[in-house]
Amino acid sequence: MPEKSTRAFGFSASFLLNKPLRRALRAAGMDPRLGWPRKGDRVLVWGRKPVSRRGRAIASATSAQVITAEDGFLRSLRTGRQGEPPRSLVLDHKGIYFETAAPNDLQDIFRAGPVLSDAQRHAALEGIAFLRDCHLSKYNDFALDPPALPDPFVLVVDQTYGDASVAGAGAGSETFAQMLQSALTEHPDALIVIKTHPETSAGQRRGYFGAQDASDRVILLDAAVSPWHLMEQARAVYCVSSQMGMEAIFAGHRPVVFGNAFYCGLDLSEDRHPQVKPRGHRSAAQVFHGVYQMYCHWVDPVTGAPSDFVSTARHLSAAADFRRRTSGFKVFVGMRLWKRGFLRRYFQQDGPAPVFEDDPAKAARLAKEKSGAVYVWSGKETEALSAACDTSGVPLIRVEDGFLRSSGLGAALVEPVSLALDDLGIYYDPTRESRLERLIAQSAALTAEKRKRAQDLVERINALGLSKYNLSGGDLPALSQDRHLVLVPGQVEDDQSILTGCTDIRTNLDLLRATRERFPDSFILYKPHPDVMAGLRNGGAAIDSFADVADLLVEQADIARLLGQVDCVATMTSLTGFEALLRGKQVVCFGAPFYAGWGLTEDLGQVPARRTVTVPLEGLVHAALIDYPTYWDPAGRGRAGCGVCSVETILSRFTHGRVNTRGAGGIRLLAKLQGVFASYAHLWR
């Protein structure tokens, strides 16, 4: 929150009772309160809703200043009427942006340019590219599959009936009728596609067009599809005052605009409204900077802290992607009891509550009846389950911990902050293609924006000293800088990554011996796996056996700090190899982990022949830490719209100590009881 908030009197219940809105207002520097304003005070009103007249009348009577609040231009996943908290607001001290015939702050911004530095122009172009590449708009609950539309077609954009932005642009029903007729007349060889507003598609508000407007040349499209797909395919874009007109400019169109919209008069659109006044040429970058960087206020709805466009866009991209992947009916198989509460919170936010069913045939049958999918913890997948899903024709999604998991061990029942969802295989199993493997192969050529994001992510992870479990350790041993230092991370020997990803070298002791053979003159450190040190999993031979091969056993040191000291990591399939790559270390793989075979490691194991492309480190990072996992905001506590988040949000939560460090005692007891009962399952099966 800004150091000093401006008190503003609100005369609408939403300013006082809507907690997400109050958080957003406070992040923008407004402190809404009850009372009677005095001269010089502020009165807060919402847009041009009827209730706003009360606030404006009181402001006029008391000589207080009116500040008009409205949703920002990148608001949320779903609409406000669907209970989604706002991620952005505008606060206008003169009017409101959509009333273009009256003074407003956005007009002043455009009147001044805005004049951009090289850095601001570059950031604006990156922002436009992010909107386009990630298919982001004001509301973002739509499918990403390109709609099957005729070629050529002209896009006509509908809006909600009676919306203040229509009246503010000097338009009405006749304007929409004129727009449709002009599109038909000016493009006699093309079909017209009318895109309905998201609130109309959701059945919340009617639009200006309806079924009566459809004909052999006019198609009414009310499906929830990406506006960017429509603008990419359309020959031309016609609108009245919709935000999609501005987005059409960002997409490279010169939209035909029939209202006096806020983006008119800037030499970027074909303006048909008689009241539009030329304001001189502005670039798309100037429009973006003025609207998204200068006019909008951004908020983290969990912490209530001020945010920015980049953080908000990344969050909404992650949330929209998660919804597209998981919004249907879900049947979970192979989920231990202690995980079920967390999984229910994680997945219920986007669709019906998940159902837990241990019988493969029943799970597949139920998923088919509900047109859903079966989810299984990756290590619990069986041939019977795969066969049942194949027979029923339902998707089988494998679930596993992500690579930035927690501040504590999964075996100690600490809830994860990330999960990997894989519809092809699972990342640690090289015997079949996984979704991660496909993403890595596709990341061989990244856009400049994605490369920079991956680079920034690596820098932050290294600066914070993060790893998968983020366990604090003892002091680092004194290591000689005169010798080549090789770290051998121990693994759980019955782990699925070893069972599926290793052939000749399959035990920690054999790994150490092979490492000594590869590096006969190096100083070799062996660090047992933390689950093994905690007595929770099997690490193979007794610890004394490793001392015969390694120069030093390091049992408690923080793995992130240790990686900063060594020159090389030798591993079977440990994630420590990936973490070493992030720190610029040499990595030798005796197995086939997901990061092997891309030209970044020395591969002594049997890497799949299908890994044929060379991938830069940034591509591997983008695929493994941004595209593949989903992240759960540990500070959100399941609050509506505050669950799934971006990886950068997770790094922020780690920074500020907002990540749980241990499993709940009751859950630990439940898991132990489950283990006891499981050992006697043969008595009742």
Whether residues 107 and 137 fall in one domain? no
In a domain, 370, yes or no: no
Q: Are residues 177 and 37 in the same domain?
A: no
In a domain? residue 394: no
Q: For a pLDDT cut of 90, what percent of the chain falls above it?
A: 72
- Verify that 104 and 155 share a domain, yes or no: no
Provide the pLDDT for residue 622.
Answer: 98
Q: Same structural domain for residues 106 and 195?
A: no
Which pair of structure tokens corresponds to residue 446?
């990244």
Strand order through the sheet with 330-333? 355-356, 330-333, 373-377, 396-401, 418-422, 629-632, 644-645
**Inside any domain, residue 499:** yes
Strand 42-46's sheet: what is its strand order? 30-33, 6-10, 42-46, 65-71, 88-92, 296-298
Choose between 27 and 204: higher pLDDT.
Answer: 27
Confidence of residue 573 (pLDDT cuts 50, 70, 90): very high
CATH of the domain at 150: 3.40.50
Q: Do 97 and 16 belong together in one domain?
A: yes
Domain region containing 265: 130-298
pLDDT, one tens digit per residue, over 316-364 is 999 999 999 998 999 999 898 888 888 988 887 666 789 999 999 999 9
Whether 563 is covered by a domain: the verdict is yes
CATH number (domain holding residue 543):
3.40.50.2000
Neighbours of 567 (CB within 10 A): 16
Residue 574 in tokens: 């440990």
- Whether residues 544 and 582 fall in one domain: yes
Same structural domain, 53 and 165: no
Q: What is the mean pLDDT of residues 665-669?
A: 47
Residues 92 and 188 placed together within one structural domain of the fold: no
Residues 143 and 86 in one domain: no
pLDDT at 641: 55
Residues 230, 270 within the same domain: yes
Say if residue 656's pLDDT is above 60. Answer: yes
Of 82-91, 105-114, 607-616, which gets the smallest average pLDDT?
82-91
- Same domain for 554 and 519? yes
pLDDT in tens, 241-279: 999 999 999 999 999 999 999 999 999 999 999 999 999
Residue 40 CA, distance from chain mean position: 42
Check if the beta carbon of residue 507 is closer than 8 Å to that of residue 540: yes
What is the model's pLDDT at position 350? 62
Listed residues 564, 594, 614: the one ending a domain: 614
pLDDT confidence band for 667 (50 / 70 / 90): very low
pTM exceeds 0.75: yes
Asked whether residue 287 is domain-assigned, the answer is yes
Q: Is residue 305 part of a domain?
A: no
Domains in the chain, number: 3
| Whether residue 146 is found in the same domain as residue 262 | yes
Specify whether the CB–CB gap between 526 and 544 falls below 8 A. no
C-alpha span between 536 and 546 (Å, rounded): 19
